[in-house]
Amino acid sequence: MTSEDAAWHGVIHEILDQSHLWRPEDLAGVVDGAAARLGLTATIYLIDHEQRFLRPLDVPGRKLPEPLAADGTTGGEAFTRVESIPAGDRVWSPMVNGTDRLGVIDYTLPAGADHEFIRQCELVAGLVGHLITTTRPRGDGLRLAQRSQPMTPGAELLWQLLPPLTVSVRDFAVSAVLEPSYDVGGDAYDYVVDDRRPQFVVLDAAGRRLRAGLAAAVVLSSIRASRRAGGDLLEQARAADAELLAQFSDARFATAVLAELDLGTGVLRYVNAGHPPPLVMRDGKIVETLTAGRRMPLGIPDPQATYGEVTLHPGDRLVLYTDGVSEARNAAGEQFGTRRLAELAERHSTDDLPLSEGLRRLAHAVLAHQDGPPSDDLTLLLVEWSAGAALRTLPPSSRENAEAG
């Protein structure tokens, strides 16, 4: 082991040792102090809930930098492309938890830092991404660092229930976005990537604010309990029907799409409970709108419900969304519409960007279309069945190792 290798080992050792007992507010200072072993300074930036600004964590004794825009800055480029970006005597390294983008670390480099040195910076950024995720539940500090405004109780409830925005496995990737981040009520999403039959859910509970969030929580919990007990998609939907009827006396309902992809055969089975129909993309084009598998919204039992089925090809994308996307209106009253959604989804599918970045840009286009704050929640979920999509969500060093393995 070279002296430089030993120094990097010491950095990682120090961060891990202190992570067991640190408070959330200690994290940035510990990482910077450990990095000083190699003549580095390290500033951690977390992406905010809107995915518009990277917000710095405080390092004791150092002036807190201003937030960085995710668009049009070097740090933002590192975040959006999930790549380390050198800039003079600095390098910006992406920070992920698995494949979920959390932010970046801004390193000031010592003289003579080479490509391998930057790869090690990236490795530490990956470690810090994991530690942020395990540290966040200890207090409010890291959550507050990602916020530009207070959250409503409904939004607080839902964000605690949702899985990460992005996850990838070897042959597919899934990414979601949910707006308005601080006032979301009834929209939600879910997925599991177990075995070779991943499942995906997008739902929209009727109403707004906390009551809608409570209904969404009931639906998510019912689906998960049924799924984990071995229930198929129709049984999961019936479980949600029963719990909505049991927990609410006001005919509370939710629209939803529940889908399962067999990665061995390519068959996608789905149930559409009164929800906008999903779209299938192939070679950058919308090739099918999934109109089968219809049943009544969840909360209204429908014993005649059946599955819809379609066969996907490797490389295909599945687009699921709520009506807050298609029905978003501008000042003239014009809806965003499925045609515009399809056109933008097609455009971003050809940009060779991580799935999560194409989705971020698509969501911001919907928000930009609207006249003022959103009048309804909007949720988008993209699934791409390809190893390339999974690799594009990884930082370069991890991507190289995955390709070699």
Q: What is the pLDDT of residues 1-19, one digit of tens each?
A: 688 888 899 999 999 999 9
Q: Are 220 and 340 in contact (CB under 8 A)?
A: no
pLDDT digits (tens, 9 = 90+) for 303-330: 999 999 999 999 999 999 998 888 888 8
pLDDT band at 31 (very low <50, low <70, confident <90, very high): very high
Task: Determine contact, residues 49/69, Cβ cutoff 8 Å.
Answer: no
Strand ranges for 130-171 from DSSP E: 166-169
**What's the pTM?**
0.94
Say which amino acid occupies 280: V
What DSSP character marks residue 63?
P
Beta strands in 74-165 (DSSP E): 85-87, 90-97, 100-108
Query: In this structure, what DSSP letter does residue 314 have?
Result: T
Q: Which two tokens stand for residue 107?
A: 């390193």
d(CA 264, CA 267): 8
Say whether pLDDT at 351 is over 70: no
Helix (H, G, I), strand (E, B) or coil at 15: helix
pLDDT band at 373 (very low <50, low <70, confident <90, very high): confident
The closest of 322, 321, 272 to 295, measured between CA atoms, is: 272
Q: Return mean pLDDT, the chain.
A: 92
Q: What distance in Å separates the CA atoms of residue 201 and residue 188, rounded to the nearest whole number?
A: 8
134: tokens are: 């395990």
Quote the strand ranges of 206-301, DSSP E. Answer: 254-261, 267-273, 279-282, 285-289, 294-295
- Report the alpha-carbon distance of residue 396 to residue 164 in Å, rounded: 21
What is the separation of C-alpha 393 from the centre of its chain, rounded to a whole number of angstroms? 11
Residue 330 pLDDT: 83
